[in-house]
Amino acid sequence: MLRVEHLRKVYGEGTRRPFEAVADLSVTVAEHEFVSIVGPSGAGKTTLLKCVAGLLPQTSGAVYLDDEEVIGPPEKMALVFQDYSRSLYPWMTVQDNIAFPLRRRKLGKAATRELIQDTLRSVGLGEAGAKYPWQLSGGMQQRVAIARALAYQPEILLMDEPFASVDAQTRADLEDLVLDLRDRYGITILFVTHDIDEAVYLSDRVVVLTPAPTRVAEIVDVPLARPRDQVETKEQPEFAHLRAYVWRSIKRPEHAATASV
Amino acid sequence: MRAPRRPLRILGVGLEIAVPIAVLVLWAVLSRDGSSFYFPPLLDIFRTFQETWLFTRVGSDVVPSLARLLTGYAIAVVAAVVIGVALGSSHLLRRMVDPVVQFLRAIPPPVLIPAGILVLGVNSTMKVALIAFVCFWPVLLNTIDGVDGVDPTLRETARSFHIRRRDRLFRVVLPSAAPQIFAGARVSLALAVIMMVVSEMVASTNGIGYFVLQSQRTYAITEMWSGILLLAILGYALNGLFLLVERQVLKWHRGVRAGSV
Amino acid sequence: MSEAQLRQRAGIRISVRSMLDRTAPAVGIATAVVLFEVVPRSGLVDARFLPPASAMLRSLAGQVADGSIWSPIGQTLQGWALGLGLAMAIALPCGILIGSLYLLFMATRSIVEFLRPVPSVALIPLAVLLFGAGLESKIFLATFAATWPILLQTVYGVRDVDPVAMETARSFGVSAPRRLLRVTLPSALPYIATGVRISSAVALILAVTAELVLGNPGLGQQINIARQSGAVELMYGLIIATGLIGWGLNILMTMLERRLLHWHPSQRTGTR
């Protein structure tokens, strides 16, 4: 279980113009839950994610993973960045990229190879192990990044706008892949996006943020049936209703007003 | 630039091969009668080249020259990369050494030879030390820049996956900085050749530089030309060898660049 | 501690850091000077061969005060300027021609590829033979060495012109000379500027080398004379002066480049 309690982040504190990115943010993600975080651009989405990942020290408040406070990057957590071209190491082949975080674990050669093959197959890239990332398309590179995160065998997966730089068709495929992998591996997912459709389609709950200094505007439950389907789920009136609801929640002007107080 | 049409391309390749041959033939014909004191017959130069350098003076002049060059160069590159990595990881240190390094790099290398003679005497140690000193700065500056410029996403990925320090250095930082390090090393190689030749001209009793200047002073013009030809071939070969190594080591880098266009 | 106090403390910490950051270059230079002062005095190295920094700087200051340093500086800079100028006069037109005519490019390619990595100092004996030990030798060597970087960068820049920009100009009926002036040259300019900056450093190296090896008047010759006459402090003072000139020329070239290319995306920093 992931708990974020009264998280606050101010950049450049003590300088003449400090910037308060996150004002006061509390959210809980239960085990095996899929929670999306949406918000207008400029809401501290990435800041929040980096604090949760232990990559950025918060100003105050705390993050707990299974009741342990997060101080550095936790062992049970893996990250998938938006910019796959910069998070995959271009001088390593696909399989070396996946093996790299596993070196420390000393699983043995055969076990490592098997794990790599398994995860590559599960993202639909069974044949690409010997290639370099830059020989693959953008969508395939993001699949590699997902495979790397899975091979790390985390309990929770943080994804920072992972599909923002791929085309629409690939995006739909990758969304379904993530849903499928969640069921298969039983992991918890915290998913940051600016795409409302995507958030509603994927999630159990959607956390709507206000513009900076960020707070939680609203948490929306998504009671759509699973497994979800790109066509059937999205043609349900319930889906249309939810996305309209989240949309309004983001655009609601009083958030900006309360936030600036 | 657009690719030229096929007949043009064939003509181009023909010219690429024919023109250098034509130049050599023209030179040979024009210099044939030996009427010019400065430009002896080309065939005589070739004959002298063969008599002098294949392989009579290889042991006495070529080997000492190349040994000094490669020793000094190797010391410089290794030292500069090690120190550059250390400096590149500290912002404050980098700011401190920057003006000093910029100044030392800006000294035209040959003026250090008199100082070298004074401190170390006329010997091989002096030449090796000077070559190392001169080659050190371009590699150092580029290593610092390269280490400083490692993509933050790559660093964060390494942190979030708990990559060990040693792996982070050898498998993330150094490969990422390698293109810049190689660029610096290539500049240094040219400087190393200059220092090798000039130090032998000014203060030596052997070496190729000593040989060419001595040939000129004793009006052994054909010998002088054969020495210049040898230096030309050495410069070309060293550069070619360097490019070969660079191409091998940075294969991924060319792939990335070709892929991103 | 109250929040205000905490804030104040953080503020002090940050201003200390920014002050450290600002003074770092000066601290670095001071450290280097002190090191060069202390090491010879401590006897770690023989002070006869490596005198303390203060002695080097004093002899340099003496040269500046009695004005005797200016003429060698002038002579060295003359070699540099003439070499670089001639190299530009040769390499720019040749580079534009080779870059725009495919057949010429192919015809010259192998020769250029062979000649470029040739160490220019190898031609010192030839220069003496052809021009004697005078200024012409110095200019010949500086020009030869400085030609290649400009030539290659120009060829590369001209060949790298965006074909779309070229087609657009052509479709609007812009004449060939105007296309050269308005499309080719501006887009090749960053490459050319880089070439000129590299060539400037190379020309200085060759000018000084000619003075050192051939006894051509200039800083290189003075340094050699100082060593031979045992004026060790003066020798180091002159080496420092040469370094400062190299440094100054680097800064000058970088500034000119920035001035000339302020419109070009490569010069913009701080945009994300």
Chain A contact probe: residue of C5, C14, C16 with most A CBs at under 10 A: C14
H/E stretch holding A11 reads strand A2-11
Residue C9 pLDDT greater than 70, yes or no: no
Question: What is the number of CB-based contacts under 8 A between chain A and chain C?
Answer: 9
Q: What is the CATH number of the domain that holds C240?
A: 1.10.3720.10
- Would an 8 Å CB–CB cutoff place C19 in contact with chain A? no
User: Considering only CB atoms, which chain B residues are within 8 Å of A90?
Assistant: 252-253, 255-256
Residues C122 and C66 in one domain: yes
Query: In residues, how long is chain C?
Result: 272
Tell me the two tokens of residue A113. 């190879």
State pLDDT tens for residues B99-133: 999 999 999 999 999 999 988 888 999 999 999 99
Contact A90 B253 (CB under 8 A): yes
pLDDT at A69 exceeding the cut of 50:
yes
Amino acid (one-letter) located at A43: A
Q: Which residues of B fall within a CB distance of 8 Å from C209?
A: 108, 110, 194, 198
Query: Using an 8 Å Cβ cutoff, are C159 and C96 in contact?
Result: no
Closest CA–CA distance from residue C6 to any residue of chain B (Å): 25
Interface of A with C (CB under 8 A): 13-15
Report residue C55 CA to chain centroid gap. Answer: 28
Distance CA A180, CA A187 (A): 11
What's the rounded mean pLDDT across residues A155-176?
Answer: 90
Position with higher pLDDT, A67 vs C78? C78
Q: Is B99 on the interface with C (CB under 8 A)?
A: yes
End-to-end CA gap in chain A: 32
Q: Which range (A170-174, B25-29, B136-140, C16-20) has the least confidence? A: C16-20
Which structure tokens are listed for A53? Answer: 């990942």
* pLDDT value of residue C263: 75
Q: Which tokens is A82 given?
A: 């938006």
Contact C242 B111 (CB under 8 A): yes
Give B115's contacts in chain C (Cβ within 8 Å): 227, 235-236, 239
Question: Does residue B3 register a pLDDT over 70?
Answer: no
Q: Which of A94-103, C8-17, C239-248 has the lowest mean pLDDT?
A: C8-17
Q: Which amino acid is at B89?
A: S
Which residues are bridge partners to A79 per DSSP? A158
Out of A78, A81, A135, closest to residue B255 by CB = A135
Residue of chain C minimizing CA distance to B100? C29
pLDDT-derived band at C163 (thresholds 50, 70, 90) equals: confident
Q: What's the pLDDT band for A257 if we cut at 50, 70, 90?
A: very low
- DSSP structure string for A144-210: HHHHHHHHT--SEEEEESTTTTS-HHHHHHHHHHHHHHHHHHT-EEEEE-S-HHHHHHH-SEEEEEP
Q: Given B151, B161, B255, which is nearest A86 (Cβ)?
A: B151
pLDDT number for residue C78: 96
**Amino acid code (one letter) for C69:** I
Quick one: CA torsion of B197, C233, C32, C249, rounded to 10 degrees? -60
Q: Do C133 and C199 lie in a common domain?
A: yes
Q: Is residue B161 part of a domain?
A: yes
Looking at the predicted structure, is the pLDDT value of residue B260 above 90? no
Q: A 166-205 residues with CB below 8 A of B?
A: none
Q: How many CB pairs under 8 A join A and B?
A: 69
Local confidence band at B75 (pLDDT 50, 70, 90 cut-offs): very high
Q: Per residue in C29-53, pLDDT tens? A: 999 999 988 888 888 888 888 899 9
**C156 and chain B: CB distance < 8 Å anywhere?**
no
* Residue-level pLDDT at A108: 87
Spatial contact of A202 and A36, defined as CB atoms under 8 Å apart? yes
Q: Is C159 on the interface with B (CB under 8 A)?
A: yes
Query: Is C202 a domain residue?
Result: yes
**Distance of CA C174 to CAs C49, C75, C165, C166, C179, Å?**
66, 46, 12, 10, 6
Domain containing A249 equals: 1-76+188-261
Residue B169 included in any domain? yes
Residue A213 has pLDDT above 90, yes or no: no
pLDDT at A253: 61
Contact A104 B260 (CB under 8 A): no
CATH of the domain at B161: 1.10.3720.10
Q: Give the domain CATH number at A24.
A: 3.40.50.300
pLDDT at C76 over 90: yes
Give a yes or no: residue C124 inside a domain: yes
User: Within a domain: residue B134?
Assistant: yes
Where in the sequence is the domain holding B162, given as residue range(s)? 64-209
User: Does B246 reside within a domain?
Assistant: no
Flag if A101 and B172 touch (Cβ within 8 Å).
Answer: no
Instruction: Give me the domain span that covers residue C234.
Output: 60-267
DSSP type of residue B2: P
Mean of the pLDDT values across residues A168-180?
91
- The strand pair at A188-192 and A156-160 is best described as parallel
Burial of A17 (0-12, 13-18, 19+ CB in 10 A): exposed
Which ipTM was obtained for this model? 0.90
Share of chain A above pLDDT 70, in %: 97
Instruction: Report, as an integer, the average pLDDT of C123-135.
Output: 91
Chain B: partners with 3+ C-beta pairs within 8 Å? A, C
Nearest to C24 among B95, B108, B231 (CB): B95
Residue B253 has pLDDT above 60, yes or no: yes
| Average pLDDT, rounded, for chain B | 90
Q: What's residue A146's pLDDT?
A: 93
What are the tokens at C41? 């005095």
CA distance B165 to chain A (A): 11
Residue C68 and residue C32 share a domain: no
Per-residue pLDDT for C135 more than 60?
A: yes
| Number of domains making up chain C | 2
For residues C251 and C126, membership in a common domain is answered with: yes
Total domains, chain B: 1
Residue at B168 is within a domain: yes
Cα A145 to Cα A155: distance, rounded to the nearest angstrom: 16
Q: What is the pLDDT of residue B254?
A: 84
Residue A15 has pLDDT above 80, yes or no: no
- Tens of pLDDT, residue by residue over B222-239, are 999 999 999 999 999 999
Reference B124, options B200, B16, B225; nearest CA is B200
Q: Is residue C272 part of a domain?
A: no
What's the mean pLDDT in B160-187? 94
Residue A81 has its nearest CB partner, among B157, B175, B255, at B157
**Do C93 and C200 reside in the same domain of the chain?**
yes
* pLDDT winner (highest mean) among A220-224, B155-159, B203-207, C200-204: C200-204
Q: Is residue B88 part of a domain?
A: yes
Q: A touches which chains (3+ CB pairs under 8 A)?
A: B, C
Lowest model confidence (mean pLDDT) among A91-95, B41-45, B104-108: B41-45
SS3 A223: coil
Residue C145 and residue C18 share a domain: no
In chain C, the residue whose alpha carbon lies closest to the alpha carbon of B116 is: C49
pLDDT at B261 over 60: no
What is the count of structural domains for chain A?
Answer: 1
* The pLDDT of residue C2: 54
- Rounded (5°) CA angle B148-B149-B154: 110
The whole-number pLDDT of residue C182 equals 85
Note whether C106 contacts B: Cβ–Cβ < 8 A.
yes
Tell whether C131 is within 8 A of chain B (Cβ).
Answer: no
pLDDT at A261: 34
Give the model's pLDDT for residue A17: 81
Q: Which of A246, A172, A29, A171 is nearest to A238 (CA)?
A: A246
Predicted pLDDT of residue C44? 81
Distance from CA of C262 to the nearest CA of B (A): 23
Q: What is the pLDDT of residues A114-165, one digit of tens each?
A: 999 999 998 989 888 899 999 999 889 999 999 999 999 999 999 999 988 8
Q: How far is B216 from chain C (nearest CA, A)?
A: 6
Confidence of residue B2 (pLDDT cuts 50, 70, 90): low
B37 vs C205, higher pLDDT: C205
